[in-house]
Amino acid sequence: MLKEAAHLRGILKGLNGRGYKAYKKLEGEYEFSWYHLSIDHVQGDPFASPSRFTLIVPIEKTGIPKALFSNKRRNIALCDFLARSFKKETERFSGRCGTGHSCQIYIEAGRQEILERNSVVLNGNNLEVRFFVGLPAHGRSILANKAEEVIFHHIPSIAERGLVYKNLNKRQIEEHVYSYEDQEILRQRLSELNIVSFIREGAILPRKSGVEDRPLKGAIPFVCPKELKIEIELPYRGRVSGMGIPVGVTLIVGGGFHGKSTLLQAIERGVYSHIPGDGREYVVTDPRALKIRAEDGRSVVKVDISPFINNLPLGKDTSSFFTENASGSTSQAANIIEALEIGARVLLIDEDTSATNFMIRDKRMQSLVKKEKEPISPFIDKVGQLYREFGVSTILVMGGCGDYFDIADTVIMMDSYRPYVVTEMAREIARKYSTGRINEGGEKFGSIRQRKPLPESFNPIRSEKVKIEAKGLKTIIFGRQVIDLSALEQLVDIGQTRAIGYLINYYAKKYLKNTNSLKDGLEKTMADIEKYGLDIVLPYRIGNLARPRIEELAGAINRLRSLKIR
Ligand X SMILES: Nc1ncnc2c1ncn2[C@@H]1O[C@H](COP(=O)(O)OP(=O)(O)OP(=O)(O)O)[C@@H](O)[C@H]1O
Which positions touch ligand X (CB under 6 A)?
205-206, 216, 219-220, 254, 256-262, 352, 399, 414, 417
Burial classification of residue 172, based on how many CB atoms lie within 10 Å of its CB (0-12 exposed, 13-18 middle, 19 or more buried): middle
**Stated length of the chain:** 566
Angle between helices 494-510 and 550-558 (to 10 degrees): 70
What is the distance between the alpha carbons of residues 174 and 161, in angstroms, rounded to a whole number?
Answer: 17
- Of the pair 136, 259, the CB lying nearest ligand X is at 259
Query: Which range binds Mg ion by CB under 5 A, 136-144, 238-246, 254-262, 338-346?
Result: 254-262
- Of the pair 134, 402, the CB lying nearest ligand X is at 402
State how far Cα 272 lies from the chain centre: 8
Intra-chain end-to-end CA distance of the chain, in Å:
49
For residue 398, which of 356, 366, 342, 368 has the smallest C-alpha distance? 356
- Smallest separation (angstroms) from ligand X to the CB of 265: 7
Angle between helices 155-163 and 72-93 (to 10 degrees): 140
Q: Using CB under 5 A, pick the residue from 62, 102, 118, 261 that binds Mg ion.
A: 261
**390 binds, options Mg ion, ligand X, none, Cβ within 5 to 8 A by partner type:** none
- Smallest separation (angstroms) from ligand X to the CB of 392: 24
- Smallest separation (angstroms) from ligand X to the CB of 250: 15
Q: Using CB under 5 A, pick the residue from 27, 231, 317, 352 that binds Mg ion.
A: 352
- Smallest separation (angstroms) from ligand X to the CB of 426: 17
What is the distance between the alpha carbons of residues 93 and 105, in angstroms, rounded to a whole number?
Answer: 8
- Of the pair 162, 279, the CB lying nearest ligand X is at 279
**205 binds, options ligand X, Mg ion, none, Cβ within 5 to 8 A by partner type:** ligand X
- Smallest separation (angstroms) from Mg ion to the CB of 9: 60
What is the distance between the alpha carbons of residues 166 and 309, in angstroms, rounded to a whole number?
Answer: 62
- Of the pair 317, 352, the CB lying nearest Mg ion is at 352
**256 binds, options ligand X, Mg ion, none, Cβ within 5 to 8 A by partner type:** ligand X
Burial classification of residue 284, based on how many CB atoms lie within 10 Å of its CB (0-12 exposed, 13-18 middle, 19 or more buried): buried
**220 binds, options Mg ion, ligand X, none, Cβ within 5 to 8 A by partner type:** ligand X
- Of the pair 143, 266, the CB lying nearest ligand X is at 266
**Angle at CA of residue 377, ends 376 and 380, nearest 5°:** 125
What is the distance between the alpha carbons of residues 231 and 243, in angstroms, rounded to a whole number?
Answer: 9
Query: Which range binds Mg ion by CB under 5 A, 156-164, 255-263, 317-325, 408-416?
Result: 255-263
- Of the pair 324, 352, the CB lying nearest Mg ion is at 352
**38 binds, options ligand X, Mg ion, none, Cβ within 5 to 8 A by partner type:** none
- Smallest separation (angstroms) from ligand X to the CB of 209: 8
- Of the pair 205, 342, the CB lying nearest ligand X is at 205
- Of the pair 60, 352, the CB lying nearest Mg ion is at 352
Pairing of β 289-292 and β 346-350: parallel
**Angle at CA of residue 272, ends 503 and 505, nearest 5°:** 5
- Smallest separation (angstroms) from ligand X to the CB of 254: 6
For residue 98, which of 154, 42, 141, 137 has the smallest C-alpha distance? 137
- Smallest separation (angstroms) from Mg ion to the CB of 264: 8
**97 binds, options Mg ion, ligand X, none, Cβ within 5 to 8 A by partner type:** none
Residues in Cβ contact with 203 at an 8 Å cutoff, skipping those fewer than 6 apart: 221, 222, 242, 266, 279, 280, 281, 282, 283
Contacts to Mg ion by CB under 5 A:
261, 352
